[in-house]
Amino acid sequence: MGFQDIENVLKEEQWTRSTVTTYTLGSFEALDGYLAAMDEEEKTETKALCDAHLEEREKNSIVAMYVSGSIQLERRGADDYLQLLTLIEMFKEAKKHNIVEMLCKKILSRSENKHALRLLASSYEAVGKNAEKYELWERLVKVDYEEVEIVRLLAIHAQEEKNVELAASYYKKAIHRLIKRRDTSAVRQIFSALLFLDVEQFGYFMGVVEQVAIESKSTAVALLRELESAFKDDVDTLIEIQKQMLMLDGEDSVARDNLVRSYKIKYKDHSRLKSCLESSHLTSSFNRDIIYSIEDFETNIAFDKGTFVFQNSTNRIGRIRSIDENDVIVDFAGQSTKQGSRLSTSMAFKSLQALDRGHIWVLKSVLPRERLTDKVMEDIPWTLMTVMRSFEGKINLKELKTELVPSILAARQWTSWLAKAKKELMTNPLFDLSVNETDTYLLRNTPVSYEEKQLSIFRSEKDIYDKIKCLKEFISSKGDVESDFFFEMVRYFSAMFFEDNGSYKPIVDVTDATFSAYLLLKDLVVRQNMNFLSWPENLSFATLYERAEQPEEIFAAIKDSELKKSFIDHVVAEVPSWSKILPALFPSYLTSYIPDIFRHYKKQADLAKIYKDAVENFKEKSATLLYLLRSGDPKIWAKSGVSGEQLLFSELQLLDYANRLIENRKDVTENRKISKTLMSLLFDEKAIFKYIEEGKEEQAQKVYSLVANVFALPGGRKIEVKHAISERFPTFRFFDEPTSLEKDGWIPTGLFCSQAALDAKKREMEHIQHVELPEVAREIGNAREMGDLRENSEYKYGKEKQTLLTNTLRRLAEEIDRATVVTRDKVDPSRIGFGTKAVLFDNKKGKEVVYTIMGPWESNPDENIINISAPFGRSLVNRQEGERFAFTLNDIDYDFTVSKITVVDF
């Protein structure tokens, strides 16, 4: 019914030639009613109808634009607001402000669209709703980062309302935006207004001058003249301003004269003021770089009676006893003569460095160490300020340690002191982080805002996850999330999805950074209600996931645990096959979170598959197996189909594998952790001994064969297992007990094989590595060029084949590494062992049977070629001619007598 209604209204509009002036709020309420009655399919048809009407019949159809725009807005398409914004412009021009308000609010109910905010504010201004206008302006400047004029008007409004603090913040925001877009010419007017309002922020103003000077030195000098007028009664500040002027323009004679005047006021009681001015040529017409003149003057004027000095050649601290135009007499610490050291004035200026009374070197020289140590330990802010002031207001952590250890702090005190100092450096507004120098901190004349400081830290971070951490700390520390500093941090992440003009940016390569930025922005906007931020709301997680070529690897690369958790939540919420995806993600998020999801949705059977897979692939998923061994649910283990014996044997095999990797120096730290955990589970927690105690002799035979072959197993552990088996089965025969082979000085260990078998395995490995894998790589490359990888069966087959070959190659490499070649001359024909053929009489069946004993590579049970490492082969090893023996395997009883033993040809 709704579709037909809209079609009729379109016809009526065309017939009656309706114009903007004929529409009322009621007209749009009727259209909303028709839309509310439609289902999604009808809305799609209706939108198509309206779009065709606009294109083919009436491009300015108000009904078509409203209906199409409303449906598009509801669906949040890429051009959500275009048609509605066009309508707003039309009604604004017609001065239909009530309809403008309705349309703007319709858009703003969905998002903080800057165009809608601007149009509604303009409408409110036209009808005299100033309070509403200012409220909208406040919202507008939060989402339009380029807007400056309205920010300035908000500052003026706040000033008129006597809200000085708010006015200052708006003026600073305007200056920040102007500098960021390099429009320094417009800074001066706002700078003057802020200076009138908040003259105390000298450090801030000098920072603005520094930034403006990058673009325009003349503008920077003009700003300094404003500061000079504002601080005319503070001689130290005046000197700093005037020096900065001359740094920017060395030919500025007015600044030069003013600086000399300021110096004369400051040093009016100094005995050498006149000579210092003359020698530096500050007051003469001598053609010399003004910077050098200033440096000379300040170096010379620093020398006066009572000044502390440092002598570079001797590393001594001293104090000037007297000084004139010819000589300087210095009393150095520890000096034996009472006459002091006499130096010519010129030599003193070259060899001595004047030190402030509060310089750290002076303090170390004049104060008892115990007193200074106590002060440094108790007052970290004072210590940091003192050291920084001693070195031109900045220092890095390495230099800081050099100054304090061991002259003030002992090495053992440094670590704990540094941790507290770092916290102070991060939180104290008087300390700032250098943008250009790593681990270097600056001392500011005036406090830096928390927001500005965090932005500085954010910019210095190179890794995206360090930036995410910085942003989260900003929010948790109650930083101003409406400041431009916060917006700049957020823009780093939103820039991955948006162009500068606000349009969507095509995503070419989906990486962990893409997912992390997406999840972070969505969390800020949706969960933390920061609706004024931009985030890619039209891009679903499911779409992003489909575009990811290797989502499991991408998930593993995400370094933020909260974002990983959010990734999992989105997979469950938006990807229908989530129960097949989570098992692949679990190894990279080993917590109870994923298992709890399976339990919540009553998918214990799928969870049990994770347990079984970890056991069957214990080498590749060692961390997963260890986690489940420690934290797994016994009920799920019971459902997994993994027997206790299989689990125990997998643990022993993993221990052997980890120890061999340690020996080969591969991932040593991680494999040591694995080995330590398994040793604890198997031996300290008695898993092996419980198995022996509760099992049969056949099971003891199995477990001992594995224990005996664990690489680098401490001998004491092996003895413990032997003792436990002997206690349980007194007649048990251990296959590795001394044999006649020892007489030849050779005891076989590892994986036994012939030279021919080893050569064959090496050829197989080389063929995979140099023939099959390159061929598969070419096939994958060809398949990739065919397009969409999600529907590309050739690509998927190639990747699966590549994985299979890679796993085979890894297994072969491990086996070859363990292989021990046995030659025919090393075989003892008096006992059954590797390389022997044994003729046995089966006492139960009354007939002879012949077995050849070889390694796992040569074994072939169908031809009675037995693997020496297999339980059956272990039961035959070391038996001699004429010996009768019995054993049980897999509930089958065997009873043999050895008739004959010979050495086979191999």
Instruction: Mean pLDDT check: name the lowest of 185-199, 209-223, 471-485, 772-786.
Output: 772-786
User: What is the spatial distance between Cα 274 and Cα 69, in angstroms, rounded to a whole number?
Assistant: 79
198 pLDDT tier (thresholds 50, 70, 90):
confident
Burial (CB count <10 Å: 0-12, 13-18, 19+), residue 26:
exposed
Can you give the pLDDT at residue 88?
A: 94
Mind listing the pLDDT tens digit for each residue in 431-488? 888 877 778 899 987 677 788 888 888 988 889 999 999 999 999 888 888 888 888 8
Residues with Cβ within 8 Å of residue 661, at least 6 apart in sequence: 667, 668, 671
Can you give the pLDDT at residue 781?
A: 79
State the maximum Cα–Cα separation within the chain, in Å, rounded to a whole number.
126
Is the pLDDT score of 362 beyond 80?
A: yes
**How many CB atoms within 10 Å of residue 340?**
17
User: Which of the pair, 760 or 288, is modelled with greater confidence?
Assistant: 760
742 pLDDT tier (thresholds 50, 70, 90):
very low
Can you give the pLDDT at residue 240?
A: 93
Instruction: Mean pLDDT check: name the lowest of 421-430, 509-518, 565-574.
Output: 421-430
243 pLDDT tier (thresholds 50, 70, 90):
very high
Instruction: Mean pLDDT check: name the lowest of 379-388, 536-545, 661-670, 856-865.
Output: 536-545
User: What is the spatial distance between Cα 486 and Cα 477, in angstroms, rounded to a whole number?
Assistant: 12
Percent of the chain past pLDDT 90, that is, above it, reads 56
17 pLDDT tier (thresholds 50, 70, 90):
confident
* Three-state secondary structure readout of 727-786: HHCCCCCCCCCCCHHHHHCCCCCCEEECHHHHHHHHHHHHHHHHHHHHHHHHHHHHHHCC
79 pLDDT tier (thresholds 50, 70, 90):
very low
Is the pLDDT score of 237 beyond 70?
A: yes
> pTM surpassing 0.85?
no
Can you give the pLDDT at residue 33?
A: 92
The closest of 447, 425, 334 to 381, measured between CA atoms, is: 425
User: Which of the pair, 438 or 801, is modelled with greater confidence?
Assistant: 801
Can you give the pLDDT at residue 786?
A: 64
Mind listing the pLDDT tens digit for each residue in 313-359? 888 899 999 888 788 899 888 776 677 888 888 888 888 989 999 99
Mean pLDDT estimate for the chain: 89
Contact 850, 901 (CB under 8 A): no
Residues with Cβ within 8 Å of residue 588, at least 6 apart in sequence: 552, 555, 556, 564
Instruction: Mean pLDDT check: name the lowest of 270-279, 346-355, 643-652, 793-802.
Output: 793-802
Beta bridge mates, 849 = 840
Mind listing the pLDDT tens digit for each residue in 389-438? 999 899 999 999 999 999 999 999 999 999 999 989 988 888 888 877 77
- For residue 542, give both structure tokens: 């499911």
The closest of 253, 240, 264 to 290, measured between CA atoms, is: 253
Is the pLDDT score of 239 beyond 80?
A: yes
Mind listing the pLDDT tens digit for each residue in 171-185? 999 999 999 888 998
Q: What is the pLDDT averaged over residues 729-744?
A: 61
Can you give the pLDDT at residue 748?
A: 44
User: What is the spatial distance between Cα 575 and Cα 570, in angstroms, rounded to a whole number?
Assistant: 8
Please report which helix (H) or strand (E) contains residue 821, including its range.
strand 819-821
